[in-house]
Amino acid sequence: MQRNLKKIAMTVNGKAYTASVEPRMLLSDVIRDELGLTGTHVGCEHGICGACTVILDGRPVRSCLVFGVQADQSDVITVEGLADSNGELHPLQEAFWEKHGLQCGFCTPGVLMSACHFLQQNPNPSREEIREGISGNLCRCTGYQNIVDAVELAAETLNKNKSSDTESAKEQGVHSGRAVNV
Partner 1 sequence: MKPAVFDYHSPSELKEALHLLNEFGYDAKIMSGGQSLIPMMNMRLARPKVVIDINQIKELNYIRINNSVIQIGGLTRHYQIEESKEIEQVCRLITEGMKLIGHSQIRSRGTIGGSVVHADPTAELPVMLSTLGATITLASAEGQRTVTTEEFFMTYLTTTIEMNEILVSVEIPIPPANTGYAIDEFTLRKGDFAIVLAAASVTLDVEGKVKAARLALGGVDGVPVLLDEVTDGLIGKIPDQNLIAECCMGIGDMVDPEPDIHASAEYRRDLCITYAKRVLELAAKRALKQQP
> Which residues contact partner 1 by CB under 8 A?
1, 4, 6, 22-26, 29, 45-47, 50, 53, 56, 59-62, 64-67, 69-70, 114, 117-118, 132-133, 135-136
Backbone φ and ψ of 17, nearest 5°: -130, 150
Complex with partner 1: residue 23 or 177, whichever CB lies closer: 23
We find the least distance from the C-beta atom of residue 107 to partner 1, in angstroms, to be 13
Say if strands 59-62 and 53-56 run parallel, antiparallel, or are unpaired: antiparallel
Cβ–Cβ under 8 Å, residues 89 and 102: no
Q: Nearest distance from residue 54's CB to partner 1, in Å?
A: 9
Q: Pick the closer one to partner 1 by CB: 37 or 71.
A: 71
Angle between helices 91-98 and 145-172 (to 10 degrees): 140
To partner 1, the closest distance from the beta carbon of 181 in angstroms equals 19
**Pick 47 or 177: Cβ nearer partner 1:** 47
Determine contact, residues 98/150, Cβ cutoff 8 Å: yes
* Residue 62 or 99 having the CB closest to partner 1: 62
Cα–Cα distance, 173 to 167 (Å, whole number): 9
